[in-house]
């Protein structure tokens, strides 16, 4: 992988972090290839690398890459907007029905440089007419002329376009045509056989001859042949992939990331929040002494808000878990409510569990199977039942649908994976309901991580100042 011949001013505006050396090499390779697929293992920062590539191409290479279109799963739209603004300061907008007919004006009038759309909505915004007869080719689709506004496109989870016959693959191909920069992101480019790569290569404009590809790498149909050569050709012309073990020296022992979720039960949450605000006013909780006496009840009511948010995050959780499992990784998933754990097990029936309704023997059986059986990829853990005393080093991925009240308890859960025997850096993912109590609580929890007694887990008691801060959010 090449090194960047110049310095870039990409920096995380939230924490001051700069791209790691291997990420800068990914940007350098992207600037060389222009049309490519970044296949880095999950957790290595493909999103940031693609953003930095598009940004650097225009700022430092004088290539016109904006406006840029991001095509991504619905669950990641908010995070893409946040990442663009956090790393570059570029204004980004998520396409929705309110701007269905006027979105193209936002670049000219409001200075919006990045537009974000989910796979299912591409037709709504970019297609004027679909062919009436089937089967049809992508070139038969009549696209809206406004799609030419974009000078670059990033296609997140591009393996979703592995089936050339689907509508979304054909639309994505038409959107990408003619773009100078076409970047695909996926940790699992080839899900089953080499033929999966064929439509993805077509989208990024690196498929020269479909017939030759099929004959050489698919045994003329949908088989698999000459795989070492295919790997060499991909890496030479349009693909790169790094795994955690390859860049371990650049990684901290433990990383954290948050995924903002647009909760599906917003009306229920808003009602509960308004009821809480009204209750605080009626009880006179502006008075510090009264708030102290009502501390227990305040915690219960805040817990109810957290529970509603947890239920509204399940769509995003489902997509995230599927992506991790499809990449062949194992995952430790923490929750608090039994009904949340039950829902996860309904969605993923092959998962094992550790919760308070199980005997010690049943818990140990789940732990052992997760640790030793390659087929057991997901363990669903109740925070109280599995937060301490067990080892789950078979995975370096930890995720929280719900999370504890204190940093000490968060660290205890994270350290089920981050302990002796762990060979990889540990990535901890927190799902936060956007515009809910989750965001503020997570921020306050993380602010306490440098306080000595919190880090050592000396107490499980929540500091009164923490409750005061949360209460203040609702005054």
Residue 467 is predicted with a pLDDT of 56
Residues 50 and 76 in one domain: yes
**Residue 270 to residue 265: CA distance in whole angstroms:** 9
Among residues 224, 249, 274, which one ends one of the domains?
249
- The answer on 466 and 348 residing in a single domain is yes
Kindly state whether residues 258 and 214 are assigned to the same domain.
no
CB of 214 within 8 A of CB of 197? Answer: no
Q: Which domain holds residue 438?
A: 254-263+308-473
**180 is a domain residue:** yes
Residues 225 and 347 in one domain: no
Does 376 lie in the same domain as 350?
A: yes
Does 312 lie in the same domain as 241? no
Residues 226 and 313 reside in one and the same domain: no
pLDDT digits (tens, 9 = 90+) for 371-404: 999 999 999 999 988 877 788 989 989 999 998 8
Number of domains in the chain: 2
Same domain, 347 and 443: yes
Q: Which of 336, 340, 331, 319 is nearest to 261 (CA)?
A: 319
The CATH number for 169's domain is 3.40.50.10810
Distance CA 121, CA 315 (A): 17
% of the chain residues with pLDDT over 70: 92
Query: In whole angstroms, what is the distance from residue 300 CA to residue 306 CA?
Result: 10
User: Based on the domain organization, do 202 and 56 belong to the same domain?
Assistant: yes
Pick the closest to residue 115 from 89, 96, 143 (CA basis): 96
pLDDT single digits (tens) 174-228? 999 999 999 999 988 887 788 989 999 999 999 989 999 999 999 887 788 999 9
315 and 227 together in one domain: no
pLDDT tens column, 121-180: 999 999 999 998 888 999 999 999 999 999 999 999 999 999 989 999 999 999 999 999
340 shares a domain with 210: no
Report the CATH number at residue 432: 3.40.50.300
| Contacts for 352 with CB less than 8 Å, ≥ 6 apart | 365, 366, 369, 370, 376, 378, 379, 380
Task: Identify whether 155 is part of a domain.
Answer: yes
Q: Is pLDDT at 451 greater than 60 in this prediction?
A: no
Residue 256's closest CA among 376, 378, 415, 394? 415
For residues 351 and 395, state if they share a domain. yes
In a domain, 15, yes or no: no
């Amino acid at each position: 992988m090449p090194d960047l011949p110049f310095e870039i001013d990409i920096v995380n505006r939230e924490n001051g972090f700069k791209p790691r050396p291997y990420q800068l090499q990914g940007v350098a390779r992207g600037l060389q290839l222009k049309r490519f697929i970044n296949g880095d293992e999950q957790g290595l920062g493909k999103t940031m690398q693609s953003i930095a590539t598009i940004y650097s191409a225009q700022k430092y290479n004088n290539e016109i890459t904006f406006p840029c279109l991001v095509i991504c799963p619905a669950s990641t739209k908010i995070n893409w907007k946040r990442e663009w603004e956090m790393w570059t300061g570029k204004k980004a907008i998520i396409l929705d029905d309110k701007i269905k007919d006027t979105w193209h004006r936002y670049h000219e009038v409001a200075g919006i440089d990045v537009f974000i759309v989910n796979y299912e909505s591409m037709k709504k915004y970019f297609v004027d007419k679909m062919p009436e007869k089937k089967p049809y080719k992508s070139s038969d689709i009549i696209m809206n002329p406004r799609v030419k506004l974009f000078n670059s496109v990033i296609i997140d989870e591009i393996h979703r376009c592995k089936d050339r016959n689907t509508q979304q693959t054909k639309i994505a191909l038409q959107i990408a045509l003619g773009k100078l920069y076409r970047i695909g992101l996926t940790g699992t480019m080839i899900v089953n056989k080499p033929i999966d790569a064929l439509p993805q290569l077509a989208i990024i404009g690196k498929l020269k001859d479909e017939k030759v590809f099929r004959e050489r790498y698919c045994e003329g149909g949908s088989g698999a042949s000459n795989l070492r050569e295919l790997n060499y050709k991909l890496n030479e012309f349009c693909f790169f992939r790094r795994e955690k073990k390859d860049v371990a020296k650049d990684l901290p022992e433990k990383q954290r990331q948050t995924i903002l979720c647009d909760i599906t039960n917003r009306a229920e949450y808003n009602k509960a929040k308004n009821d809480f605000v009204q209750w605080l006013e009626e009880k006179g909780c502006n008075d510090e002494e009264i708030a102290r006496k009502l501390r227990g009840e305040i915690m219960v009511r805040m817990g109810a808000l957290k529970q509603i948010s947890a239920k509204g995050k399940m769509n995003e959780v489902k997509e995230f878990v599927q992506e991790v499992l499809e990449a062949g990784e194992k995952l430790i998933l923490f929750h608090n409510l039994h009904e949340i754990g039950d829902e996860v097990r309904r969605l993923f029936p092959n998962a094992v569990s550790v919760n308070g309704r199980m005997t010690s023997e049943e818990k140990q059986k789940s732990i052992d199977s997760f640790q030793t059986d390659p087929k057991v990829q997901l363990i669903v853990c109740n925070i109280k039942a599995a937060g301490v005393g067990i080892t789950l080093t078979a995975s370096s991925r930890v995720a929280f649908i719900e999370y504890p009240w204190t940093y000490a308890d968060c660290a205890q859960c994270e350290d089920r994976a981050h302990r002796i025997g762990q060979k990889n850096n540990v990535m901890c993912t927190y799902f936060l309901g956007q515009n809910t109590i989750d965001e503020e609580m997570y921020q306050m929890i993380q602010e306490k991580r440098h306080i000595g007694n919190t880090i050592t887990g000396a107490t499980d008691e929540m500091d009164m100042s923490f409750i005061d801060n949360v209460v203040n959010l609702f005054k």
